[in-house]
Structure 1
Amino acid sequence: MIKIAVFGAGTWGIALARLLAVNGRDVTVWSAIPTELKSLSTTHRHPNLPGMELPSTMHYTADIAEACAGKDILLFAVPSPFVRSTAKKAAPYISDSQLIVDVAKGIEDKTLMTMSEIIEDELTKQKRSARVVALSGPTHAEEVARDMPTLIVAASEDEEAAKAVQKAFSTPTFRVYTNTDRRGTELGGAVKNVIALAVGIALGLGYGDNAKAALITRGNAELSRLGIAMGCKPETFSGLSGMGDLIVTCTSMHSRNLHAGMLLGHGKTVEEAKTEVGQVVEGINALPAACRLAKKYKVDMPIVQSVDAILGGRLAASNALASLMGRDLKRE
């Protein structure tokens, strides 16, 4: 039986933990918050995933050494701001034989590293190594928790590692593909959250489907330009972790980033929007790094830059459309 430790007891980590456990994996959930673990272990439910029941076979621990011991796969599902600190805690207990899977989506502002690169960085600092795979795609936890059909990508330059993750995570309702463009896969997972903020702002201002479609399409063009400039594969951005993830995040009411954007469009402040959403809004965290990457690689990203200006108080949301529409005319 494959043994998997899930770091993080948020909706995505728990939805995946349940999926794996129901399909015959030995699953242990680690969290730095003991009260979360107590609630999960006693109620077998997650407060933000109504209707989902967790198998009684799942294990829970606040001891990261215990979580790592004897596992085949370590799954990082903590919010992006906590990936580095979690990797630092776990690194002394990670062995070379273990596979590491990251499902957190974001880019670290200070270093411009993706989440899997952060994990590798912390392992290297402690003279450890492991094979790291990014698992990303259009995957709302609320639907995975209900066994609704879902497709996702396991990405790594190490094809055997990606295939091992594909085999371990695939179920009758959860189909896993592989690719070798880990950076492009992770870039798509981070930048799409920023575009979803833009779509939400537009909806909050009362704009319609035409504007939504335009922002999704041109947002993907911005993502593709950046990815290609960073050496990623163009086809990644038309796949599940590119356009696929962008569509679901920009159109579903499960999307925290879309919700936060709508609140901003309604005139809420950033802090008010974050409080009302009540969970981590990854697009807000990824925004500074996305802007820095655009500048570093000299890529024009007007939608991303407009969102940055709105959140930074330099541009009123109501004036953003005029700013975008008034740009010089050009070929698509």
Structure 2
Amino acid sequence: MITVMGAGAFGTALAVSLSRNGPVRLWAHDARHVEAMQRTGQNERRLPGVPLPTNITFCAGLETFSSEDTVLLAVPMQRLRGVLEGHRGVLSQARLVACCKGMELSTGKGPVQIVQEICHAATPAILTGPSFAADIAKGLPTALTLACADVRAGEALQQALTTPNLRIYRTSDTIGAELGGALKNVMAIGAGVVMGAALGDSARAALMTRGFAEMTRMAVALGAEPETLAGLSGFGDLVLTCTSEQSRNYRFGLSLGRNEAFDPSVTVEGAATARAVHEKAQALGLEMPITTAITGLISGELQVDQAMDMLLSRPLKEE
């Protein structure tokens, strides 16, 4: 049995896609949300207009959970620790697949690291790559990376999570996969700023390219394989989120570039991640000027013209 914890747009879309393979359980922390989905056959709160197949069951508790279940953790990155701690007893030995992207602000840790810290006996993995909830829910095709250090468990998860519209590639490099998903959110904010400030497509392409260099620099410094960053979890997701308004991080950047208010109810994982990445880069002595500029824009310490001047006036060097 596959359980998806998190009835946001992405968790719901994953449940819809996975239900094509068999029964799926969709967990939401709010019992009223569960009742509404049961009554309407839709997740009107988070993914309106998408019918939920009848072989998806809904729950606000895990009373019927088995330790043999595969659990997809589709909760916001900054809430992952609390969800795991609140359900540590039933999740302690499960196969736990993180589906959130980012870096915990308070610790600088990624989702796999947090799973390992809280659920010691669990098998941790991460599912990441270019994927918008609306596309997945419609059955549109994409390819994702499944990273699991346990090769046999990774092979089993690859089989279980592949669906007619989701092609899953496998790696054992969990560090690279989780950092690719986290760092691209920061760069997506920067790309949105560029376009919101009408700096042009050429500037966006330059930011994406140099941003990818920063992503790879930090990931390799933390033990990742550079090939992982060049794959779906890094470069693939970077391209998607830097070029589409379906990305909340990109839309947030657009609002910064236009000097407009942004809906505070919308989760923007890259905002907290930018601060965490900036702090980690400083601790490691890594030069990450784009991340520094984006962090300054988010905090309000920099204006767009100041950030642009800061980046363009850096010393010239070889690529």
TM-score by length of 1: 0.92
Deviations, residues 214-247 of structure 1 (Å, cap 9, x unaligned) = 1111110000000111111011111000100101
For residue 73 of structure 1, the aligned residue among 53, 70, 74 is: 70
For residue 81 of structure 2, the aligned residue among 84, 87, 91 is: 84
For residue 106 of structure 1, the aligned residue among 102, 114, 117 is: 102
Q: How many residues align?
A: 318
State the partner residue of 1:208: 200
SS in 1 for 2:130: coil
State the partner residue of 2:262: 273
**1:95 Cα deviation after fit:** 5.1
Whole-Å separation in 1 of the counterparts to 2:84 and 2:194: 37
Structure 2 spans left out of the alignment, 5+ residues: none
Amino acid corresponding to residue 188 of structure 1 in structure 2:
G
Whole-Å separation in 2 of the counterparts to 1:115 and 1:223: 17
User: Structure 1 71/29 Cα, relative in aligned 2: closer, same or farther at 3 Å?
Assistant: farther
Deviations, residues 295-316 of structure 1 (Å, cap 9, x unaligned) = 1221111111001111222211
State the partner residue of 1:221: 213
**1:326 Cα deviation after fit:** 1.0
For residue 161 of structure 1, the aligned residue among 141, 147, 153 is: 153
**1:62 Cα deviation after fit:** 1.0
Amino acid corresponding to residue 202 of structure 2 in structure 1:
N
Amino acid corresponding to residue 135 of structure 1 in structure 2:
L
The answer on 1:289 being equivalent to 2:276 is: yes
State the partner residue of 2:225: 233
**What aligned pairs does 1:173-192 form with structure 2 within 5 A after superposition?**
173-192=165-184
Amino acid corresponding to residue 115 of structure 1 in structure 2:
P
Amino acid corresponding to residue 295 of structure 1 in structure 2:
Q
User: Structure 1 60/123 Cα, relative in aligned 2: closer, same or farther at 3 Å?
Assistant: same
Whole-Å separation in 2 of the counterparts to 1:315 and 1:80: 26
Structure 1 spans left out of the alignment, 5+ residues: none
User: Structure 1 246/60 Cα, relative in aligned 2: closer, same or farther at 3 Å?
Assistant: same
Conserved in 2, the CA contact under 8 Å of 1:6 and 1:74?
yes
**1:321 Cα deviation after fit:** 1.3
**1:23 Cα deviation after fit:** 2.3
Whole-Å separation in 1 of the counterparts to 2:77 and 2:155: 25
Conserved in 2, the CA contact under 8 Å of 1:148 and 1:173?
yes
**1:70 Cα deviation after fit:** 5.6
Amino acid corresponding to residue 245 of structure 1 in structure 2:
D
TM-score by length of 2: 0.96
Conserved in 1, the CA contact under 8 Å of 2:7 and 2:27?
yes
* Identical-pair percentage: 36
**What aligned pairs does 1:1-332 form with structure 2 within 5 A after superposition?**
3-24=1-22, 26-47=23-44, 48-66=46-64, 68-69=65-66, 71-94=68-91, 96=93, 98-124=94-120, 129-268=121-260, 272-275=261-264, 278-332=265-319
Q: Superposition RMSD on alpha carbons, in Å? A: 1.4
Whole-Å separation in 2 of the counterparts to 1:168 and 1:202: 40
